[in-house]
Chains A and B, each alone.
Chain A
């Protein structure tokens, strides 16, 4: 782990792994040191905005091998597996499209971090054959609710946008509603499962 300066009142904690980042994140969330304005998990980092000194002191003494046990929210999403790239994903995984659906629905996922758009969560836990590259040429328009995968992550597009992830299917769940509480369906640390519906 290494701290990096990030402007006057923020710092970026470089982590050795996603697991270490999650342990640091859970530790800071549990202790809630004063002055922290924003806490933004990344793929291998944790951005701390405000209260940096308190967070540094907290993490110096923390046992990150045994982070505080969290009580994650569990989210299950119903998905119609009719995505435009299902055949491509199956071919690259060397299995049938039905087997892709089984793999995607049997695995359990964790929201590692968010970004790209409000409510977009990067979910880890993808079975290895489904860890596939982005499309060579991104789509200019991906409909809201599209379920996709890219690299080590799977995720759902909260609203219509351009995007280069390979698309498995669609969900009608609302991923982000600024008037709801909580506004985002996915927050870092949440556990997610997908269920196949017709």
Chain B
């Protein structure tokens, strides 16, 4: 069987694909790779369909060995990649022989690196997806040293040879659409446009932001309602939380605005300390 052995998961490594939409009415989050664009790219480089499962490695650090020859690719922020200790480069298809070790260094910007392997990680899907949902505990558990993950049947790598890696900036301008509950917030456009800072309490559930608290225009409790990925929820503290892929499916605090889908990948790479300005439209 083609497989991948985890030698070192690094800080925190998860199997992720493009998630499991369609189950929100049962309380199940969409989940999936936070930086979906990078996972799609890694899969294309490895000759996989874009929705194949790969490994999302927080701050790199991942080290794996293969039982057979594979095509692998690492994307996300630029990161040192080595095959049996020799520099191999990210954002390019890598031919790795059976028994060789592929190791990721630590990226100097950004948060999440993606490893795709020809055939994709073929753990048993749960509700149509191989993604780990950290809030619900659905999907394969976080990787540990010694784990052996099955790989699917490889395709034929096609397309680009090398891609230019993107530097995750320390300051982001994030386009948002106001609503659905912008009327619950005093001057929502002005308040969101002011500067925010990503805090260390952020995770796959959401980015917690620090800054000048938003003020409520409406007092009282909001009945629980459905929320989408990218929703900017305003709890009583006035400090917003931007919901990422593993968000709860309903929430009881007003959502002032929703991040445009194209901007979610950049948020997935925002380290604590990253400054954010929302640009409402």
Please give the residue numbers on chain A whose beta carbons come within 8 Å of chain B beta carbons, in ascending order. Answer: 4-12, 37-47, 49, 113-120, 122, 159, 176, 178-179, 182-184, 187-188
Contact = CB atoms under 8 A, between A and B. Distances in A.
Contact of A45 (B225, B249, B259): B225
Contacts of A9: 261
Contact of B255 (A6, A113, A117, A182): A6
B226 A12 contact: yes
Interface in B227-281: 227-228, 230-231, 248-251, 255, 258-261
Given A5-B180, A37-B22, A188-B25, A115 B228 contact: no
A178 B22 CA distance: 14
Q: Sort A-B residue pairs by CB-CB distance and give the 6 closest, nearest first.
A: A47-B226, A115-B250, A40-B226, A7-B258, A42-B225, A43-B223
Contacts of A10: 228, 258
B181 interface: yes
Given A118-B26, A118-B27, 9 more contacts: A5-B178, A6-B231, A7-B261, A12-B225, A40-B249, A43-B223, A45-B226, A47-B228, A178-B28
B129 to A, nearest CB: 10
Contact of A187 (B25, B178, B251, B261): B25
B27 A6 contact: no
Interface string B166-198: 000000000001111100000000000000000
B180 A12 contact: yes
Contacts, number: 122
A57 B25 CA distance: 22
B22 A113 contact: no
Interface of B: 21-28, 126-127, 136-138, 177-181, 223-228, 230-231, 248-251, 255, 258-261
B24 A42 contact: no
Contacts of A38: 21-25, 226
Contacts of B231: 6-7
B249 A115 contact: yes
B235 to A, nearest CB: 15
A143 to B, nearest CB: 16
A112 to B, nearest CB: 9
A3 to B, nearest CB: 9
Contacts of A116: 27, 248, 250
Contacts of B261: 7-9
B248 A115 contact: yes
A70 to B, nearest CB: 14
A50 to B, nearest CB: 9
B21 A6 contact: no
A189 B179 CA distance: 27
B177 A7 contact: yes
A115 B224 contact: yes
Contact of A40 (B25, B180, B230, B258): B25
Contacts of B22: 37-38
Given A6-B258, A178-B127, A184 B250 contact: no
Contacts of A122: 224
Nearest to B125: A178
Contacts of A188: 25
Contacts of B24: 38-40, 47, 49
Contacts of B136: 117-118
Contact of A43 (B177, B180, B225, B259): B225
